[in-house]
Amino acid sequence: MLKRRLIVAASSPRSFSSSPISSSELESLVLSQYHGGRFHNLLATTVTAPSVLAAAAAALAARAHSSPSSLLPIPHLIHDLPSHCSKLLPSRLKGLPLVLPDLPLKVLIESLRSVLELVYQPRLATFAYGGRPALGRHTAVRYLKTSVQNPTWWFRPVLLRQPFDRRHVTRLTSVLREKIDDPPLFSFIESLFEAQAIDFHLGGHDLGRGFPQESGLVSILLNIYFDALDREIMEIRSEIHKKNPRIKDPILEASSRVFHNPIRVYAVRYLDEMLVITSGSKMLTMSIKDRIFECLEGQLGLRVDRLKSSVHSAVSEKMDFMGFELQAVPPSVLHPPMSEKAIRARKKYLKRKVAQAQELKNARETIRKKLGLKILNHCFKKLKRCPEGFKLDFRIENEVRKIFRGWADEVVAEFFKNREECWSWHRMLSYGDFLSLQRVRDQLPQELVEAFDRFQENVDKYLMPVKPSKIIEEEERQEEEEEERIYAKRTVEDLAKLQMKVNAPVELVRKAVKLAGFTNAMGRPRPIKLLICLDDADIIKWYAGVGRRWLDFFCCCHNFKTVKTVVNYHLRFSCFLTLAEKHESTKLETIKHYKKDLQVIDGQGVREVNFPTEREIKMMGDRNLSDPKPVDGALCLILARLATNEPQCYCVAHFCDRMDTTLYRVRLLQNRLNVDPLNVDKWVPGMGAIHESLNRKCLPLCSEHANNLLMGRITLQDIDCTSFVNVE
């Protein structure tokens, strides 16, 4: 097994012990082979270099959350690929076998992937997502939501399910020859397909999901293969944009009454899934579709399902793409105005907030009054005891003056805010005053009359009730005008603009929940009896892995609240019912024991929470821009723990040398239900499945990697499935 391979590695003359090469050094090494417009001798000088292989091994170990204690050799591997591939036979007679590479070959494939990525990464189209750093599903969703404006028509070229066979490999090598001059490299890639170390289907639902049947080299090979299609789309887009330029007029841009919406073409491709969006007419969209289909069928040699690839309205019809549900909607749908109920609740909240502030103010005034009385009482007592006065060691007049000035300013400010008090004082100070009579003013000194006039001006200036009333009325009028302006702007935008709404397919999620056994026919949570053989912590971790996969994948959706409900209610209470079924207790007793957060006690006696808490789920939102794996792998996989007398084996995770392992039997969903994943009527549309050859295989896993696999942190791609254990 793995230990024997490591021993052979240590004794091999070709084994390497150099340190992993850094990304910048690898880029320099690849660019050093570029001359004459092409790259030369990449296989001999770069792919099989010890430092590059060490970096590839470190990358595989990092994905599996391991640390490579010893590195693997590549002796005669390139010329003897079949011996480094294992055929896994299915558990049923009519099943198809699966060929998987062993760990040394995986290291070489990862090295080849990193080199090809450096060669083609700057040359790929900007709308080509998948298998590229920082260009995953969520990045594509962000592009759709922020960059696509006023979509009117769209279509999705749907490929018929077809194997990537010799014709496509020949086409792939011809594309590689345009940039690379290395016949041994092309022979090695062809031998990988011949040995079935790389074997996949186009038009299915197995790519980009972490399934073991998908090689790590598939994503970059698909991006290279579809580069001709990407170039064709870029040419189409350039032609249309030149015919319909955007008018750059500052007067028109500043005006809110003029809308200029030129015809635009948008495209997104994630591996073998494509979506083309236009803001023009249907005839234009159909002509674009014909050119793209001609490229797919003629130049790339692919079969297209023309019935499912028809042009649809982006406004009235939804589109399924990358596992999401897309539709063009007005901006008010994405950012709806506050309802009457919400406005009333907001006013009630603000009123309560003002009342609380008034209570705090009254409490402060009470404290100030008590403090002032204490100070005056203290000073009075001191003066009575010392007729000559009393002295302090330090002067506090300035501090006291600042405090009292601040209090006085606050009192005056609050007074001027009260319109009734100002009006009352203004009436008392100005009504019926005899100094306003001219015959009286003539008999008084001029200085007194001028002082009275100045006083009356200040009274009118600060206490006149008309001015505060006008200010308040002006503020209310401005608020009404602002509300009218916002309403008019929102109405015009709804009539003139369209934006992309990304939703989670709720019906498919509910169907997946029902298919996996989380709910019964009535849609209520039910236990999964196959999980009873696991420990309590493993049961909770499996549910947590499925829930977190769903939450991470759909966190960018507009209806994310519905997915939260599925995880927070259906999965959580299905877990409670499974634990209650295992311990033969009631649901209430189980909730009382594990609490609502599904807390378990680990070996050190510390309570740990693996399932996302209700507060954590509530606070989740659109904050991730990564490429999360869909829930398919975690949902279809159940690891049943075995109690056997088999000798201890090494953990099958990449580069894990631990021997304190436990045997887990792989149980797949499609085999438990006896359902063909290709049957859309019985399976969830758009959901992939792990290859049936792994069903009932026994994998030795250490506690760390078993937890990571249950929690969905790693997938079956991150373990060596060829090192399974035969258990009778």
148 and 42 in a common domain: no
Beta strands in 418-526 (DSSP E): 499-503
Residue 68 CA, distance from chain mean position:
30
Query: Pseudo-torsion of CA 364, 370, 372, 378, nearest 10°?
Result: -150
- Could you tell me what percentage of the chain is helix, strand and coil, using 3-state DSSP and rounding each to the nearest 5? 55, 10, 35
Of the candidates 202, 205, 129, the one whose C-alpha atom is nearest the C-alpha of residue 163 is 202
Q: Is residue 178 part of a domain?
A: no
Q: Is residue 728 part of a domain?
A: no
Q: Is residue 83 part of a domain?
A: yes
Residue in the block written with tokens 């947590």: 544
Q: Is residue 409 part of a domain?
A: no
Question: How many alpha carbons lie under 13 Å from residue 476 in its C-beta half-sphere?
Answer: 6
Strands of the sheet containing 698-702, edge to edge, are 637-641, 661-668, 698-702
579 and 703 in a common domain: yes
pTM over 0.75: yes
219 and 90 in a common domain: no
CATH for 317: 3.30.70
Token digits of residue 212: 């073991």
State the Cα–Cα distance between residues 362 and 354, nearest whole angstrom.
12
Could you read off the pLDDT of 224-238 as tens digits, one per residue?
999 999 999 999 999
Give me the mean pLDDT over the 496-510 stretch: 91
Query: Amino acid letter at 558?
Result: H
Could you read off the pLDDT of 140-191 as tens digits, one per residue?
999 999 999 899 999 999 999 999 999 999 999 999 999 999 999 999 999 9
155 and 34 in a common domain: no
270 and 143 in a common domain: yes
| Last residue within a domain, chosen from 503, 536, 563 | 503
Of the candidates 15, 135, 1, the one whose C-alpha atom is nearest the C-alpha of residue 76 is 15
Of the candidates 337, 340, 342, 622, the one whose C-alpha atom is nearest the C-alpha of residue 493 is 337
The region of weakest confidence among 378-382, 602-606, 616-620 is 602-606
Q: Is residue 361 part of a domain?
A: no
C-beta of residue 629 within 8 angstroms of C-beta of residue 715: yes
The region of weakest confidence among 388-397, 431-440, 452-461, 478-487 is 388-397
612 and 644 in a common domain: yes
Q: What's phi and psi for 665, nearest 5 deg?
A: -95, 130
For position 70, what pLDDT does the model report?
53
- Count CB-CB contacts under 10 A for residue 92: 13
Higher pLDDT among residues 275 and 204, named by residue? 275
Q: Is residue 392 part of a domain?
A: no
Q: Is residue 213 part of a domain?
A: yes
DSSP label at residue 121: G
Give me the mean pLDDT over the 493-516 stretch: 89
Instruction: Indicate the average pLDDT of the chain.
Output: 84
Token digits of residue 431: 């009504």
List all residues 6 or more positions away from 667 whose beta carbon is below 8 Å from its beta carbon.
Answer: 530, 637, 638, 639, 640, 695, 696
Higher pLDDT among residues 28 and 450, named by residue? 28
Of the candidates 631, 507, 509, 525, the one whose C-alpha atom is nearest the C-alpha of residue 572 is 525
Could you read off the pLDDT of 611-665 as tens digits, one per residue?
888 787 877 776 555 678 888 888 888 888 887 777 778 899 988 888 888 888 8
State the Cα–Cα distance between residues 370 and 373, nearest whole angstrom.
5
Domains in the chain, number = 3
Higher pLDDT among residues 2 and 390, named by residue? 390
**8 confidence band (pLDDT: 50, 70, 90):** very low
Domain that holds residue 315: 136-164+200-330+497-503
Q: Do β-strands 265-270 and 128-129 pair in parallel, antiparallel, or remain unpaired? A: parallel
State the Cα–Cα distance between residues 383 and 361, nearest whole angstrom.
33
Residue in the block written with tokens 């998948």: 130
Name the burial class of residue 201, with classes exposed (0-12), middle (13-18) and buried (19+) by CB atoms within 10 angstroms of its CB.
Answer: middle
Higher pLDDT among residues 66 and 138, named by residue? 138
C-beta of residue 234 within 8 angstroms of C-beta of residue 124: no
State the Cα–Cα distance between residues 88 and 96, nearest whole angstrom.
9
Could you read off the pLDDT of 37-95 as tens digits, one per residue?
899 999 989 988 888 988 888 888 888 877 665 555 555 567 778 888 888 888 777 77
145 and 92 in a common domain: no
Residue in the block written with tokens 């033969």: 584
| Last residue within a domain, chosen from 456, 471, 503 | 503
Higher pLDDT among residues 408 and 89, named by residue? 89
153 and 256 in a common domain: yes
224 and 310 in a common domain: yes
605 and 629 in a common domain: yes
289 and 154 in a common domain: yes
Of the candidates 683, 652, 653, the one whose C-alpha atom is nearest the C-alpha of residue 669 is 683
Higher pLDDT among residues 603 and 348, named by residue? 348
| Last residue within a domain, chosen from 447, 477, 503 | 503
For position 214, what pLDDT does the model report?
87
For position 391, what pLDDT does the model report?
61
H/E run at residue 708: helix 703-711
Beta strands in 556-708 (DSSP E): 599-601, 607-609, 637-641, 661-668, 698-702
694 and 574 in a common domain: yes
Token digits of residue 391: 């002295």
Q: Is residue 188 part of a domain?
A: no
Could you report how far apart the first and last alpha carbons of the chain are, in Å? Answer: 18
